[in-house]
Structure 1
Amino acid sequence: MKFQELRKSLHWNKKKTGITVLCVCLLGAGSFYFTRRGTTRRNNTQASFVRTTVLKKTTLNNSISLTGTVESAAVSNVTTNQSLSVKSIPVQVGDWVKAGDIICVLDTEEIDKNIEKTLESLQESADQAKESLASAEENLTWAQSDADSAWNTMAEKETAMNSAKTAYESARSSVDAFQANVDQAQAAYQSLMEAENAALSQLNAAISTGECSGLEDTACAAGLNYQNAKQASKDAKAKAESAQQDLKTAQSAMNYDALAAAYTSAQTAYNSAVNAWNTARNQRDTWETKVTEAKEALEKASASDALDDLYEKRENCTLRAETAGKVTAINVTVGSMAGNNTTIATIQDTEALKISVTIPEYEIQNVELGMSAKITTDATEGEIEGTLTQISPVASSQNSTGFSAEVTVTTPDSGLYVGINATVEIIQSTVDNVFVVPIDAVGTNDQGEAVVFVKESSSGADAVFKEVSVTTGEENDYYIEISSSQLSEGMEVRSSADPEQAQVNMTEGNAQDLSNNAGVQFDMGGAMPSGEMPSGGGPGRNGGAPGGRGGNG
């Protein structure tokens, strides 16, 4: 039969020292079967016993054990960037303060003097600005009055012009017919004058050729034509002159010339009024701009960036807590000088705690945010609850390669103090109400099945054990879950599948002492507190808590 796979053989070699120490340390939890051999003398009698584990349903935790320092999860510093002396400190180290409480007050005497001087200078500027504003507003009033007057005049002139235009256009429409007759008569006269001139040219040509002797030649056709054309032209001229006289008579009757002159005069007066209005309006707009500028100047004179800065500096002389918590440090005294960027006090919320740890790189794949944690310290009793709330995404190599992480304390009134060292056991997995045995108690038979050896009869070195096939489940560095229909509470299972490793030889005196202290059997299962991981499995790596994977030291 094979008793253990290679991994578990190596695992036993790594832990056998811790297991042996455990057997000595947990005498109060159980006892041992032993048998005496040799003589009856106390000093040289040899005793043998077989290490066994009494089965009992319990909880198995798979965890990683780390160490770290307790810190406040909410730390704030009260600082100042002003080089002023400290006037008062109304709190002491150890006081609990709320956000907004006054922590320190700096001396504002010099700032107050600068504020007073600045206010005096601003008042002078404000007075001057008020005078300029009053003058600008007065000129604007006059300019507005002139603009209103010019507007009214322009409106009057426009009305007069429109009236003159109406009268003129009415008279012009009445004489337009006469003008048309004049134009028509003039055109007819002009045409007949041209015909007369043409006839004269023809007559002169006829005289030159001898066809006619002159106007007195009654037989000359050219002479006759000329006489007719001349008479027609004369008649047309008379008609044109008559039409022109009729036009003048009509114009005179309608007072046309006077109306035309009145309209022209009204147009000129209106254009002058428009120009006057534009000048007055521009003057008003100019003074409106000056009033606006004077108001802005007055507003600027009433405040300044320099004054705002002084008020802000004075406000910042009262230093307040940004967060609630306990005052853990005050770095100044009354009368001392607070330099630029001085940390006046430190406030830490001692009710919101965390523990900074480093997760080894070989464990980083086995943890995740939200895992529960058990916290223990030398200054507190029992286990304190926590949660893994932060894991750095990059490895750090300040001490040893690992990932910085934070565990937030979730137990109210935990009793932890900021600055003390703590052991943190991060629970990676948990199974409840199961049988667990030391890893070395599980062997492998020839069929490749996992087996344990359950005690059937006898005791001591003569104890008889039978092989029981089991199914294994969760495990940690020291214990493994087993299950089988053949197992029940109270059964004794050999603590090592290898019978030689399970047997221990001691002198009778030491064995008798163990018997006197612990009765008859070594009950490792009985040493497991209800709801907790089995204890006594040996120390974790680098000083980690028993039952865990060890710590980072």
Structure 2
Amino acid sequence: MVKNLISNKLKNKKNFSSKLNKKILSLLGFIVVLIFGTFIVNIVLNNQGLSDDKYTVLKLKKNINKINAKGEAKSEDSINVYSNVNIPIKEVRIKLGDKVKANDILAILDTSKLEDQIKELEASIVTSNTANQAALENANSVYNNALVLSNDDKNQDIKNAEIALNEAKRDFENKKSIYDKYKQLHESDSISDQELKTYEISYENAEDFYEKSKVTLDNIKSKVQQDMVTARTTYETAKAKAEDNSQNIILENLKKDLNNAEIKAPVDGIISAKNASVGNQGSGILFEIMNPNNITVNVDVKEVDIEKIKVGQKAEIKSDSTGGKIIEGGVVRVGEIAKTEDNNKLDLSNDSNDKEAKYEVKLKINDPTIKLKIGMKAQADIIIDEKEEVYTAPVESLIKDKDDKDCIYVAEEQGKDYIVKEISITKGTETDVDSEIFGQDLKDNMIVLNSPSDYELGSKVRIKDK
């Protein structure tokens, strides 16, 4: 039994080794075929030669560095039309896109309730004025009478009180004199205590009446002054009420609102926004009017390019309305704030949700006779800079040499063949497509290989049709 187990193990081991050898042989065969196939393809390609999309022929030319952007035509002049009256709209006479002239009626407000308010207020003012005038005349009469009575010589109550006071004073002084006389007699025992007491009581009563007469006169005078102050206050209040113009001001404002019930265009232009509709309140911005004669082309520029844009740079504008014709213009304003703020946090490991901000750039058309309509779509090439007599090559044709310096691979003609050679260069202004290149070894008609990593230095290549 042990022999059988050992025999089975040896047999399985041989099978495994046999399968492994077959896999290795298959893999080696695939590699040989791949190498041979690549060799055959290279031979075929070399025999056919490189097509013109595989290389670039250097030519000194004018290099224009530009940024392409899209946008639309907009008016630089726009005016918002408001209503000064917050009442419902009765009629709207225009629609979006209509041309209007200054003073054209755009909408009419419903003034029925306003007219009722004016009538009610006018009637109220007449009633109030009549009542206020009567109250003023009465208050004026009372006040004038109080002024007269405040004069001691003309106030009979004061005069009577003064007469009574003078009489009380004389009576008091007379009885005081008698009392003093009998007081001396009493001291000499000429009269009895009872007799002196009688004169003393008479004197004290006269004194008390005299003091009360003084208080009475003071009270009368005080009341006269108080009545005069009250009458003056009442008169001034009545006068202020009669002269109060607040209701008339309200009436004037209501009549102004009535005159403003027709919403008119302040300027000539095109209705570019319409928020007014029948039945809604006439408040806020009802219309926007744009000037069609002051048009700019507003384009959106990515944040990566916005720092390159400057006021005064040239622009070449195209629109569907003008076909392929290039409209010359220039940058007149560069936006400082992004049109759409990116609220997503930038995740450097995953930028799938990151949205690049865009800035608005305004372009002015040089030729005033060229008319673009508001809202027309347009695209523009903004000229960043222009250089005369420079070489340019595709960005993918630039490579680093062993010293990590910029270079290109060229196909240099040697007899009937072309040899791959390395040329040191310096990069200039670069776009997504091309780069300016400078170098003392560069020359016209030099053939630059567009994909240098596909070639080995010193190898031979064929150029199709050459």
TM-score norm. by structure 1 comes to: 0.50
Matched-pair identity in %: 17
SS at match of 1:51: strand
Q: Which has the higher contact order (CA 8 A, sep 6+)?
A: 1
Q: What residue number does 1:496 align with?
A: 450
Whether the aligned pair in 2 keeps the contact of 1:440 and 1:497 (CA below 8 Å) is: yes
SS at match of 2:58: strand
Q: Deviations over 1:30-65 (max 9, x none)?
A: xxxxxxxx9xxxxxx99976630213463434x4x4
Distance in 2 separating the partners of 1:444 and 1:318:
74
Whether the aligned pair in 1 keeps the contact of 2:58 and 2:446 (CA below 8 Å) is: yes
Q: What residue number does 1:388 align with?
A: 334
Q: What residue number does 1:251 align with?
A: none
SS at match of 1:148: coil
SS at match of 2:122: helix
- The partner residue of 1:452 within 392, 408, 411 is 408
- The partner residue of 1:130 within 125, 129, 133 is 133
SS at match of 2:142: helix
Whether the aligned pair in 1 keeps the contact of 2:87 and 2:109 (CA below 8 Å) is: no
Structure-2 change in CA distance of 1:48 and 1:499 (3 Å)? farther
Distance in 2 separating the partners of 1:348 and 1:464:
65
Whether the aligned pair in 2 keeps the contact of 1:369 and 1:388 (CA below 8 Å) is: no
Distance in 1 separating the partners of 2:92 and 2:408:
77
| Pairs within 5 Å for 1:91-170 | 93-95=98-100, 97=102, 101=103, 103-104=105-106, 106=108, 110=112, 111-112=114-115, 114-149=117-152
- Alpha-carbon distance, 1:74 to partner: 4.9
In structure 2, what residue type is equivalent to 1:311? K
Distance in 1 separating the partners of 2:236 and 2:309:
65
Q: Deviations over 1:110-138 (max 9, x none)?
A: 44565345323311221121111111111
Number of positions where the alignment pairs a residue of Structure 1 with one of Structure 2? 365
Task: Report whether the alignment pairs 1:482 with 2:422.
Answer: no
Distance in 1 separating the partners of 2:354 and 2:71:
14
| Pairs within 5 Å for 1:7-406 | 51-56=56-61, 58-61=63-66, 63=67, 65-78=68-81, 81-83=86-88, 85-86=90-91, 93-95=98-100, 97=102, 101=103, 103-104=105-106, 106=108, 110=112, 111-112=114-115, 114-149=117-152, 268-300=212-244, 303=247, 307=251, 310-321=254-265, 324=267, 326-328=269-271, 338-341=278-281, 345-350=287-292, 351=294, 353=296, 355=298, 357=300, 364=303, 367=306, 371=310, 374=315, 376-378=317-319, 379-380=321-322, 381-386=326-331, 387-389=333-335, 390-392=337-339, 394-395=341-342, 401-403=355-357, 405-406=359-360
In structure 2, what residue type is equivalent to 1:339? G
Whether the aligned pair in 2 keeps the contact of 1:150 and 1:280 (CA below 8 Å) is: no
Q: What residue number does 1:440 align with?
A: 396
Structure-2 change in CA distance of 1:96 and 1:52 (3 Å)? farther
Distance in 2 separating the partners of 1:481 and 1:352:
36
Which structure would you say has the larger Rg?
Answer: 1
Structure-2 change in CA distance of 1:375 and 1:297 (3 Å)? farther
Whether the aligned pair in 1 keeps the contact of 2:101 and 2:265 (CA below 8 Å) is: no
- The partner residue of 1:417 within 352, 363, 373 is 373
Distance in 1 separating the partners of 2:450 and 2:190:
152
Distance in 2 separating the partners of 1:377 and 1:284:
89
Distance in 2 separating the partners of 1:151 and 1:488:
125
Structure-2 change in CA distance of 1:281 and 1:495 (3 Å)? farther
Distance in 2 separating the partners of 1:241 and 1:331:
116
In structure 1, what residue type is equivalent to 2:271? T
In structure 2, what residue type is equivalent to 1:340? N
Distance in 2 separating the partners of 1:109 and 1:137:
42
Q: What 5-or-longer segments of structure 1 have no aligned partner?
A: 1-37, 39-44, 183-239, 246-258, 512-553
Q: What 5-or-longer segments of structure 2 have no aligned partner?
A: 1-46, 192-202, 345-352, 456-460
Distance in 1 separating the partners of 2:119 and 2:65:
75
SS at match of 2:132: helix
Whether the aligned pair in 1 keeps the contact of 2:150 and 2:228 (CA below 8 Å) is: yes
In structure 2, what residue type is equivalent to 1:469? S
Structure-2 change in CA distance of 1:269 and 1:297 (3 Å)? same
CA RMSD of aligned residues (A): 5.5
Distance in 1 separating the partners of 2:50 and 2:218:
135
Whether the aligned pair in 1 keeps the contact of 2:409 and 2:448 (CA below 8 Å) is: yes
In structure 2, what residue type is equivalent to 1:285? V
Whether the aligned pair in 2 keeps the contact of 1:56 and 1:490 (CA below 8 Å) is: no
Distance in 2 separating the partners of 1:108 and 1:330:
22
SS at match of 1:137: helix
In structure 2, what residue type is equivalent to 1:477? D
Whether the aligned pair in 1 keeps the contact of 2:295 and 2:372 (CA below 8 Å) is: no
TM-score norm. by structure 2 comes to: 0.58
Distance in 2 separating the partners of 1:370 and 1:288:
78
In structure 2, what residue type is equivalent to 1:327? I
Structure-2 change in CA distance of 1:442 and 1:400 (3 Å)? closer
Whether the aligned pair in 1 keeps the contact of 2:399 and 2:407 (CA below 8 Å) is: yes
Whether the aligned pair in 2 keeps the contact of 1:364 and 1:403 (CA below 8 Å) is: yes
Distance in 2 separating the partners of 1:241 and 1:114:
94
SS at match of 2:152: helix
Q: What residue number does 1:192 align with?
A: none
Distance in 2 separating the partners of 1:463 and 1:267:
145
Distance in 2 separating the partners of 1:74 and 1:369:
27
Whether the aligned pair in 2 keeps the contact of 1:384 and 1:409 (CA below 8 Å) is: yes
Q: Deviations over 1:56-95 (max 9, x none)?
A: 463434x4x4433333355445455534545988xx9334
